[in-house]
């Protein structure tokens, strides 16, 4: 282990305990409960990721879109964390980010025993190292978590430091598992970029068609339907990844994780049977899911948080496939949870694809905390974990699309014509989205050019009979709101052009999409 991840000498380390041993440790946690299904459900103090408390350590803040601190301040935080760990028992979990032997990263989590559930969840997410020997295992990426260490000089009394030079993330005063998961993946984003590719905040699936198997990637902010879209079945489709993939210049796709971190709010066994079944399996680990004294789970109770979560292995999904079976990606779907004039599906070409990817437009959910939930957001690449300048994401995707025969689409997972509570609006439901994904894979969607935005909108999608979902202007026309439609069009064009002024290093033809 390098010096930047060195622990105090009197710290007791428990290397790679089994799931059975971890379950015994979780049983001793006062905030852990067993569900009626026999799995553990832990209530945490922190219920979402802590973006305001996350800082990149650097002497060149102009090279990062994230908040930054100096190396001197980073060193003080590391020293304080090391001092806190003296005499404590820490669990060490080793594994790989990525399953392909030619493209995987050795990763390590070090976490307090008092938060053993985080260790069990991360063990589920890592690919297991073959022939593991801890004496010769040198991690390339390290996350050190001390949930009990209060940091009063930082937002919400917590701090997460990101040391890209040494690939070490330190997390202080957060017991939310997402900081462990994203700590490693944030570093992996940087590693993939340096290798000439781009890490996409995306799920992936293989859909059989008459023309052969098609690989579809689905990108989107947490809570906007990425996992649901990935695991919804079309033609006995096979999910291969839930949250992050690497896209390389030849179109090759590499997986990152062996498990899934699924949002459980509103989980319906009828429309999301695969996720629901995995969530209630004995080997799943739950976080902040409501349950009663009898261990019954309530996926609709939001009295504590909407951001309930489940971690389960991809092996719990009966028809899951390995990403190593993928030759190349055939289509990329950008999710946009919107509530006004965005069609259920659009087809993007050329620089449009990079522009809408960079726009990252959606409605925030509880996954990003109270500051994001319900608000209109623009997050480049829908990837808040890219640690370099966001401009680089848009430019890299444009470069990759120049070398890959891959179609790009934008899919609305929200509603048309207003919020769902609006009498004139129409909700885009899971079956609608599933029909669209099937149509993309089978190339059965018919298109025409939209004169307002220049992309293509669908005139026909098999199994969708409501054309107003496909062409919102018709809904606004029928409900005598065409002026409202036109106001929305002008507003979006104006806001998007202004948004892109933040990114001076974006290639000109990407920016120009919203200047016309």
Q: Which residues pair with 171 in a beta bridge?
A: 145, 160
What residues does CATH 3.40.449.10 cover in the chain? 3-30+50-175
Task: Give the H or E element holding residue 28.
Answer: none
Residue ranges of the chain assigned to CATH 3.90.228.20: 199-257+323-514
The domain defined by 260-316 carries CATH number 1.10.3720.10: no
Q: Provide the CATH number for the domain formed by 199-257+323-514 in this structure.
A: 3.90.228.20
HSE-up of residue 274 (Cα within 13 Å, Cβ side) = 23
- CATH 2.170.8.10 in the chain is located at 260-316
Cβ atoms of residues 264 and 229 within 8 Å: no
3-class secondary structure, 26 = helix
**Quick one: which of 188, 196, 197, 195 has its CA closest to 169?**
188
First to last CA, the chain: 53
Q: Which residues contact 161 (CB under 8 A, 6 or more apart)?
A: 55, 56, 57, 69, 74, 77, 78, 169, 170
CATH no. of 3-30+50-175: 3.40.449.10
Query: What is the C-alpha to C-alpha distance for residues 486 and 489, in angstroms, rounded to an integer?
Result: 5
CA atoms within 13 A on the CB side of 103: 23
Q: Please say whether the beta carbons of 202 and 347 come within 8 A.
A: no
In the structure encoding, which two tokens stand for residue 360, read together?
């990252």
- Give, for all 516 residues of the chain, the pLDDT tens digit: 344 566 777 889 999 999 999 999 999 999 999 999 999 999 999 999 999 999 999 999 999 999 999 999 999 999 999 999 999 999 999 999 998 989 999 999 999 999 999 999 999 999 986 666 655 688 999 999 999 999 999 999 999 999 999 999 999 999 999 999 999 999 999 999 999 999 999 999 999 999 999 999 999 988 788 999 999 999 999 999 999 999 999 889 999 999 999 999 999 999 899 999 999 999 999 999 999 999 999 999 999 999 999 999 999 998 899 888 887 899 999 999 999 999 999 999 889 999 999 999 887 554 545 554 667 789 999 999 999 999 999 999 999 999 999 999 999 999 999 988 888 899 999 999 999 999 999 999 999 999 999 999 999 999 999 999 999 999 999 999 999 999 999 999 999 999 999 999 999 999 998 876
């Amino acid at each position: 282990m390098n010096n930047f991840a060195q622990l105090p000498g009197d710290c007791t380390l428990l290397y790679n305990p089994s799931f059975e041993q971890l379950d015994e440790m979780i049983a001793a946690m006062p905030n852990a409960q067993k569900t009626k299904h026999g799995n553990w459900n832990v209530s945490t103090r922190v219920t979402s990721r802590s973006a305001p408390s996350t800082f990149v350590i650097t002497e060149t803040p102009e090279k990062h879109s994230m908040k930054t601190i100096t190396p001197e301040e980073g060193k003080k935080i590391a020293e304080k964390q090391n001092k806190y760990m003296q005499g404590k028992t820490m669990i060490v979990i080793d594994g790989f980010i990525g399953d392909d032997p030619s493209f995987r990263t050795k990763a390590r989590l070090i976490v307090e025993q008092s938060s053993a559930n985080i260790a069990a969840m991360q063990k589920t997410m890592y690919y297991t190292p073959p022939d593991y020997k801890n004496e010769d295992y040198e991690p390339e990426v390290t996350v050190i978590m001390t949930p009990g260490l209060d940091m009063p000089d930082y937002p919400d009394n917590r701090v997460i430091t990101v040391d890209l030079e040494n690939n070490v993330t330190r997390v202080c005063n957060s017991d939310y598992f997402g900081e462990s998961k994203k700590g490693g993946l944030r570093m992996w984003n940087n590693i993939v970029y340096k290798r000439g590719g781009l890490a996409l905040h995306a799920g992936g699936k293989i859909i059989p068609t008459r023309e052969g198997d098609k690989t579809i990637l689905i990108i989107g902010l947490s809570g906007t339907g990425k996992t649901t879209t990935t695991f919804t079945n079309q033609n006995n489709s096979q999910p291969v990844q839930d949250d992050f993939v690497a896209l390389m210049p030849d179109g090759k796709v590499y997986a990152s994780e062996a498990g899934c971190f699924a949002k459980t709010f509103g989980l319906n066994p009828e429309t999301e049977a695969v996720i629901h079944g995995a969530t209630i399996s004995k080997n799943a680990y739950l976080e902040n899911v409501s349950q009663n004294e009898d261990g019954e789970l309530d996926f609709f109770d939001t009295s504590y948080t909407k951001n309930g979560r489940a971690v389960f292995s991809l092996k719990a999904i009966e028809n899951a496939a390995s990403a190593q079976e993928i030759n190349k990606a055939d289509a990329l779907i950008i999710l946009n949870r919107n509530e006004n004039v965005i069609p259920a599906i659009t087809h993007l070409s050329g620089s449009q694809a990079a522009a809408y990817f960079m726009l990252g437009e959606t409605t925030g959910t509880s996954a990003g905390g109270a500051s994001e939930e319900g608000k209109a957001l623009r997050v480049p690449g829908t990837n808040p974990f890219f640690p370099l300048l966001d401009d680089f994401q848009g430019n890299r995707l444009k470069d990759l699309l120049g070398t890959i025969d891959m179609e790009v689409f934008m899919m609305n997972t929200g509603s048309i014509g207003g919020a769902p509570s609006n009498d004139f609006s129409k909700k885009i439901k899971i079956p609608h989205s599933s029909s669209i994904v099937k149509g993309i894979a089978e190339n059965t969607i018919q298109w025409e050019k939209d004169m307002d935005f220049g992309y293509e909108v669908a005139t026909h999608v098999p199994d969708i009979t409501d054309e107003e979902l496909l062409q919102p202007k018709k809904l606004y026309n029928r409900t005598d709101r065409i002026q409202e439609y036109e106001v929305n069009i002008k507003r979006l064009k104006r806001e998007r052009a202004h948004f892109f002024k933040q990114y001076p290093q974006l290639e000109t033809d990407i920016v120009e999409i919203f200047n016309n």
